[in-house]
């Protein structure tokens, strides 16, 4: 696992040692595997070395692999369904370049989804722009609210019990809906 993390991280790019350690780990795991399904998966992984090398050697960004990109698209869909026409403001993030935001906007304005069962309706998206908390205090407010929800949810789930989580829970629970939390969690 550590070889994969070193290979896949941005810091690992251009590090030939990290690349070779990753592929050596795959080879060792494949050679010592005694479970057929694991051996088959490792064999498939071994066969993807050329594609992995292309990805590894590329200096470009793979923004569409970032979870933040799909999160923005899902938020646009959810708010569009609730409000109709929407405008969205995102915080500055490396994955959210001008081209990336334009791609997200183009996708959500059309029917989208990998399969018919995951197909999403088009969003009436007026604007999708990026800003900073210095220019748009609402960004800082959203960060503060997200932190409060996290602390309260971690407390409620018993992950990180805290007095703050206990006190914040009644404030944040009205903000949760069926798509943002398990109804039994409330």
pLDDT tens for residues 142-157? 888 888 888 888 888 8
The reply to whether 69 and 125 lie within a common domain is yes
Token digits of residue 102: 């334009």
d(CA 147, CA 19): 36
The reply to whether 90 and 49 lie within a common domain is no
The reply to whether 52 and 68 lie within a common domain is no
The reply to whether 46 and 17 lie within a common domain is yes
The reply to whether 154 and 179 lie within a common domain is yes
Confidence band (pLDDT; 50, 70, 90) for 87? very high
The reply to whether 27 and 78 lie within a common domain is no
Length of the chain: 186
The reply to whether 72 and 88 lie within a common domain is yes
d(CA 102, CA 123): 14
pLDDT at residue 132 in the model: 84
d(CA 76, CA 88): 7
The reply to whether 53 and 68 lie within a common domain is no
The reply to whether 127 and 100 lie within a common domain is yes
pLDDT at residue 65 in the model: 56
pLDDT digits (tens, 9 = 90+) for 3-20: 766 666 655 555 677 777
The reply to whether 118 and 76 lie within a common domain is yes
- Total count of domains within the chain: 3
Contact present, 88 and 127 (Cβ < 8 Å): yes
Q: What is the pTM of this model?
A: 0.54
Closest Cα partner for 122 from 179, 83, 76, 177? Answer: 76
Domain that holds residue 81: 64-131
pLDDT at residue 24 in the model: 87
Flag whether pLDDT at 73 surpasses 70: yes
């Amino acid at each position: 696992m550590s070889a994969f993390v070193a290979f896949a991280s941005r810091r690992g790019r251009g590090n030939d040692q990290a690349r070779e350690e990753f592929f050596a780990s795959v080879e060792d795991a494949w050679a010592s595997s005694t479970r057929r399904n694991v051996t088959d998966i490792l064999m498939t992984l071994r066969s993807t070395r050329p594609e992995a090398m292309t990805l590894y050697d590329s200096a470009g960004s793979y923004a569409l692999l970032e979870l933040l990109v799909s999160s923005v698209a899902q938020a646009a869909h959810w708010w569009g369904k609730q409000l109709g026409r929407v405008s969205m403001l995102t915080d500055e993030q490396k994955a959210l370049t001008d081209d990336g935001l334009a791609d997200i906007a183009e996708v959500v304005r059309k029917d989208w989804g990998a399969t018919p069962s995951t197909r999403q309706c088009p969003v009436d998206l007026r604007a999708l722009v990026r800003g900073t908390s210095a220019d748009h205090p609402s960004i800082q407010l959203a960060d503060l609210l997200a932190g409060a929800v996290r602390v309260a949810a971690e407390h409620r789930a018993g992950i990180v019990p805290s007095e703050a989580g206990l006190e914040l829970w009644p404030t944040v629970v009205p903000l949760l809906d069926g798509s943002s939390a398990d109804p039994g969690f409330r």
